[in-house]
């Protein structure tokens, strides 16, 4: 039943590496982005190769690693030491090293009634570190190495827009018929239909695991097409307006309130404000993301007042949001018992009852990171994503107006992806890729001569 899915997953490294490695220089960035996002959006979900002595390898590991290897073959000179060991890349290595401290501080077996959770072993640190490097690390590294100019940014925006177009018929089918394409095409389903049922319809998922993953990708595609439209890009010529409106219309009917709110704000900023104002919005969002864990841990943020406000307008959504915050409070209290390096995996970061059962349902990437990997892991993840987005002030003046709009457009899109990690989990390594692309342009266009 899974033979075809395994065949597709097996062929992808060969085909993907060939496509990237043989790309002409002027098309390399577009080819890398197409293989990266194409792999994330079309390969079979929740299917891994379990190799002896190696962590499970699925599409979230394969897509970034294939792009990294292929780009090394195509343009090895771009893979300098700076790409891997300077600036925001240092946070990736903090994340790797942090896993070894997480393991060393979690050698105890945890017992909750009849439930026992295993102690962490050195192998767990190795597996987690390798997985982290193959997903977040490889995504950041390859994007940083490949993106050097605003022309490269335009290629990236164009590729994401094209892949967004491919999702339109898939999502329209699933909006009507329910999320069935993964089962039809690959022969198995990975969905919990309770998570995608909304009212009398469904959230589309296509070849992703969750409607939220599709939602944040559609948001990214809509905003990428908006930036291209803003700069009058000739990539899609006369079809640019129709493409933008089609993608936005799909997002509007996709039953994802959060992504639509993000899109309304982002589109208003893209179309109606200056590049300088873009960066002010970025600073506001980044500041909120940095402060949110502190404000939640100290009780200074009245989230339940916000829930009451939502309840006056939508009791169903208020109930869902309130449940999230209750879980967040419980997991945060658990995380603060081992604040520096967290509790590790195997569900050790969950809150268990004396009966050995748990009602914990982790949502936000930040609470998952701090409860599993502690403050060190949280800093490793968010430091990698935040540092490329800030410190652009005076640098913009060196660019022509069109270049400014392309650059701040990508920064804004990456910033909203960062904001999404507060309420939602990490659905793949796309955020690391976008952050790496921004960092690459910052390195090449604005670094001081050695």
pLDDT tens profile 375-399: 999 999 999 999 999 988 778 888 8
Q: Are residues 264 and 277 in the same domain?
A: no
User: Quick one: pLDDT at residue 196?
Assistant: 64
Burial class (CB within 10 angstroms; exposed 0-12, middle 13-18, buried 19+) of 447: exposed
Does 433 fall in a domain?
A: yes
140: enclosing H helix or E strand: helix 138-146
**Percentage of the residues of the chain whose pLDDT score is greater than 70:** 97
Q: Are residues 155 and 181 in the same domain?
A: yes
Q: Are residues 260 and 365 in the same domain?
A: no
Cross-strand partners of 110: 117
User: Quick one: pLDDT at residue 198?
Assistant: 64
Instruction: Collapse the DSSP code of 49 into the 3-class scheme (helix H, G, I; strand E, B; otherwise coil) and give the result.
Output: strand
Radius of gyration of the chain (CA): 21
Higher pLDDT: 398 or 94? It is 94
Q: Are residues 262 and 279 in the same domain?
A: no
Mean pLDDT for the chain?
91
Q: Do residues 161 and 406 lie in contact, with contact meaning Cβ atoms separated by under 8 Å?
A: no
Mean pLDDT of 277-284: 95
Mean pLDDT of 229-242: 88
Does 80 fall in a domain?
A: no
Does 91 fall in a domain?
A: no
Q: Are residues 197 and 307 in the same domain?
A: no
Q: Are residues 101 and 170 in the same domain?
A: no
Q: Which tokens go with 380?
A: 């490793």
> Which of 228, 249, 268 is the last residue before a domain boundary?
268
Backbone angles phi, psi at 117, to 5 degrees: -110, 130
Q: Are residues 365 and 240 in the same domain?
A: no
Structural domain that includes position 234: 148-268
Q: Read off the pTM.
A: 0.94
Does 15 fall in a domain?
A: no
Does 92 fall in a domain?
A: no
Q: Do residues 170 and 145 lie in contact, with contact meaning Cβ atoms separated by under 8 Å?
A: no
Q: Are residues 250 and 283 in the same domain?
A: no
Q: Are residues 295 and 417 in the same domain?
A: yes
Does 211 fall in a domain?
A: yes
Q: Which tokens go with 129?
A: 């570190």
> Which of 218, 234, 268 is the last residue before a domain boundary?
268
Q: Angle 212-20-132 (CA atoms, 0-180°, nearest 5)?
A: 45
Instruction: Collapse the DSSP code of 117 into the 3-class scheme (helix H, G, I; strand E, B; otherwise coil) and give the result.
Output: strand
Helices (H), 231-358: 240-252, 257-272, 275-298, 303-311, 315-335
Does 32 fall in a domain?
A: no
204 to 215, 254, 374, 396: CA distances (angstroms) = 8, 7, 34, 38
Q: Are residues 251 and 287 in the same domain?
A: no
Is residue 450 over pLDDT 50? Answer: no
Structurally, how many domains does the chain consist of?
A: 2
Q: Going along 129-236, which residue ranges are E strands?
A: 197-198, 201-202
Q: Are residues 329 and 440 in the same domain?
A: yes
Q: Are residues 362 and 406 in the same domain?
A: yes
């Amino acid at each position: 039943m899974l033979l075809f899915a395994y065949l597709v997953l097996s062929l992808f490294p060969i085909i993907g590496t060939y496509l990237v490695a043989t790309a002409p220089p002027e098309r390399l960035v577009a080819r890398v982005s197409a293989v990266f996002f194409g792999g994330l959006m079309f390969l079979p979900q929740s299917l891994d190769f379990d190799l002896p002595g190696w962590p499970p390898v699925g599409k979230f590991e394969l897509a970034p690693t294939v792009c990294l290897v292929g780009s090394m073959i195509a343009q090895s000179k771009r893979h300098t030491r700076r790409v891997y060991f300077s600036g925001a890349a240092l946070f990736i290595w903090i994340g790797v090293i942090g896993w070894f401290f997480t393991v060393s501080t979690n050698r105890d077996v945890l017992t909750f009634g009849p439930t026992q959770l295993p102690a962490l072993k050195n192998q767990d640190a190795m597996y987690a570190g390798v997985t982290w490097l193959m997903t977040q690390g490889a995504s950041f590294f390859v994007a940083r190495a490949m993106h050097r100019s605003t022309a490269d940014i335009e290629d990236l925006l164009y590729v994401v827009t094209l892949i967004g177009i491919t999702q339109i018929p898939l999502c329209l089918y699933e909006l009507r018929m329910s999320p069935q394409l993964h089962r039809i095409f690959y022969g198995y389903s990975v969905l919990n239909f309770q998570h995608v049922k909304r009212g009398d319809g469904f959230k589309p998922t296509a070849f992703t695991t969750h409607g939220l993953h599709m939602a944040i990708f559609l948001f990214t595609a809509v905003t990428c097409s908006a930036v291209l439209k803003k700069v009058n890009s000739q990539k899609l010529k006369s079809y640019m307006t129709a493409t933008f409106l089609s993608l936005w219309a799909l997002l509007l009917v996709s039953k994802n309130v959060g992504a639509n709110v993000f899109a309304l704000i982002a589109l208003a900023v893209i179309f109606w404000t200056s590049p300088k104002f873009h960066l002010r919005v970025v600073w506001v969002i980044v500041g909120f993301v940095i402060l949110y864990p502190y404000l939640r841990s100290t009780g200074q943020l009245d989230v339940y007042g916000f829930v009451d406000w939502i309840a006056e307008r939508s009791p169903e959504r208020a109930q869902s949001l309130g449940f999230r915050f209750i879980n967040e409070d419980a997991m945060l209290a658990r995380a603060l018992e081992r604040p520096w390096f967290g509790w590790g995996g195997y569900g050790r970061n969950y809150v268990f009852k004396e009966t050995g059962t748990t009602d914990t349902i982790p949502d936000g990437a930040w609470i998952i990171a701090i409860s599993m990997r502690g403050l060190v892991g949280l800093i490793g993840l968010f430091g990698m994503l935040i540092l490329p987005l800030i410190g652009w002030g005076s640098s913009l003046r060196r660019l022509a107006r069109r270049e400014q709009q392309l650059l701040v457009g990508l920064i804004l899109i990456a910033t909203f992806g960062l904001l999404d990690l507060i309420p939602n989990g990490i659905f793949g390594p796309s955020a690391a890729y976008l952050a790496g692309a921004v960092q690459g342009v910052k390195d090449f266009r604005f670094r001081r001569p050695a």
